[in-house]
Every structure is written in structure tokens, then in C-alpha cells.
Amino acid sequence: MKIFDPHIHMSSRTTADYEAMAAAGITVIVEPAFWLGQPRTHVGTFEDYFGSLLGWEPFRASQFGIRHFCTLALNPKEANDERIAAGVVALLPRYLGKDGVVAVGEIGYDEQTPAEDRWFAEQLELAQRFDLPALVHTPHRDKKRGTERSLALVREAGFPEERVLIDHNTEETLPMVLATGCWAGHSIYPKSKMDEARMAALVRQYGSERIIVNSAADWGVSDPLKVPKTVAVMREQGITDALIETIVWENPVRFFAQSGRLTLDEAPSSADSWEGNSVRRS
């Protein structure tokens, strides 16, 4: 089965993770720009971060036969830091037109402050301007309200709902998202967010339409193999392979293909070898 992990922060993972992901059948990933655990205090560090997501990380992935795409944005948490917020958003137009950028994100809410309102709305406008879909993070705290407010902001902005992926859903937020035209992402985590068995139950209840599953693995307690592990649990629970493949392959492909930049036909270009010389180190 072809597997796409549409939300994973590979910058904080190892080559052993890439190896395991490839062995488990993951061939395409999307790495959203987010925060790094340690707050950043200079706008310039975002230039290097965006550069990594567009250069170094796709190269690392290509060494393992994995296609790497990214989404770029000022994240909701750091949107509250006045030292950097405006400067980072001002950087974005330089990067949003580039190959490999398949959405604006993660945008959305953390504490649901006025600053987050402002930068969420301004970055949705950037997504319109660059003809990109939007990836919306929903908060850990006060999640239901945060999801409602996200959906309301998307509607008020007149942003096409079929071009919005609302992420990190739970049993309580999923019906709210499915009632709109937005797509619903689920992050399968060892402890918080969503787990494999609960996800399988949601799929049995709601089917596969606009449902997406990811690992959201990062530098915290998380697992880059959560998408293939969820596939296994869904199979155990009798969900058909066709339905599973819709969720772990076709849906993320359809969502991100709306960017016009999800090039899956070409081999990973940076893995080119020359006259039999592998680019990998001996």
C-alpha cells in the first residue's frame, strides 16, 4: 500500500527514522513549518529554517527514496512574539512561490489571541495570492472553541473550504469540520491527540471522505511510523484496503495537488547519481 504522511517535522528526526519510514512504505511526506520547542528570537532564523525545509531536508529524504514537500508560515505560537511576527510574515512572499511549497501552514490558533487572529487572517490572504491551500493547526488547550473559531475565520475570509485542511482533530471536533467543506487531519500520537484504535473507530463511523491521517512526529514524544501503524490497526478492525488507501494516500494527494506543485511523477531529483556514482557517503 502506498503511504503518504502529510504532516511530519523531519528536521528533528534522524536518518534511522527515514530508513524505517521507507521500509514501512512511506514514499511521500509534507513537513509543515512550525515552532521548534525553543522559541526563536530573530527573524533571520526563519530564513534558514525555510531554506532547510526547501533544500537540506528534501535532500535527506531523497536519499531514502522519499519525496519531501513543505508548507511555510509563521506558526500560531510564535505569532504572539512581537519581535518576530511581522518580519517573518514579510519574508513569506519570497518563499511561497517556490517549487516544493504545497500550502501555507501551519497557521491557526494556539491561545486564540488578537495577534493570532491577525496573522491567521493575513496568511490566509497570502495563500489566496499564491494560489496555495492552507494547513490549519488546532490548539491543544481549548480545542473545541479554537476549532470553531478557525472554521469561522475561514468562512469570514471567503477562503475556499475545500482548500483548507484543519489538523489535529478529535472525536469532538471532527463532526464540526466535516459539516463544512474543509478537510480533517488527525495526528496519531503515543499519548495525546489521537491514537490508532480511536482513529479506526472514527473511520468506521464517518468513512473516508476528506479524512486524513498523519504522525505529526517532531522533537517531542511522537512516532514517525504512526501512519503505517494506523493502517495495521484499521486492517485488524476489518476496514477495507480500498478505504484505508483513500485515507493514507488518495486524500492527501488530492488535497495537496490543489497547489499544482505536488510533483509525484518525477523521481526525487536530488538523488540523481552520475555514471553509477551514488551520492551517498560510503
Partner 1 sequence: MSTAAPALAALLAVHRPDLAVAILTESTVDAARPFDLIQFEAAFGATGRRFGTTMLDGAATVSDTTGRSWSIVTWGIDELARALLIVAGIDRVAPAEQVAWLDGLHRAGITRERQAILRCLALLPEPARFLPIALDACRASTQPVFEAIACENPYPAAHFPETSFNHMVLKAVFTEVALTRILGLATRRSTELARMAADYASERTAAGRSVPADLALVLSR
Contact residues toward partner 1 (CB under 8 A) are 47, 50-51, 54-56, 58-59, 93-95, 97-100, 260-261, 263, 266, 269-270, 272, 274-275, 277-282
- Please give the torsion angle defined by the CA atoms of residues 68, 71, 75 and 76, in that order, rounded to the nearest 10 degrees: -120
Q: State which residue, 38 or 277, has the beta carbon closest to partner 1.
A: 277
Minimum gap (Å) between residue 55 Cβ and partner 1: 5
Q: State which residue, 61 or 239, has the beta carbon closest to partner 1.
A: 61
**Would you tell me the crossing angle of helices 226-236 and 196-206 to the nearest 10 degrees?**
60
Q: Is the dihedral of CA 269, 47, 130, 128 positive or negative?
A: positive
In three-state secondary structure terms, 115 is helix
Q: Phi, psi (5° rounding) for residue 263?
A: -90, 100
Minimum gap (Å) between residue 47 Cβ and partner 1: 7
Minimum gap (Å) between residue 278 Cβ and partner 1: 6
Q: State which residue, 65 or 207, has the beta carbon closest to partner 1.
A: 65
Minimum gap (Å) between residue 93 Cβ and partner 1: 7
Q: State which residue, 92 or 182, has the beta carbon closest to partner 1.
A: 92
Which are the contacts of 62, defined by CB distance < 8 A and separation ≥ 6? 68, 268, 269, 270, 271
Residue 240 cell numbers, joined: 477495507
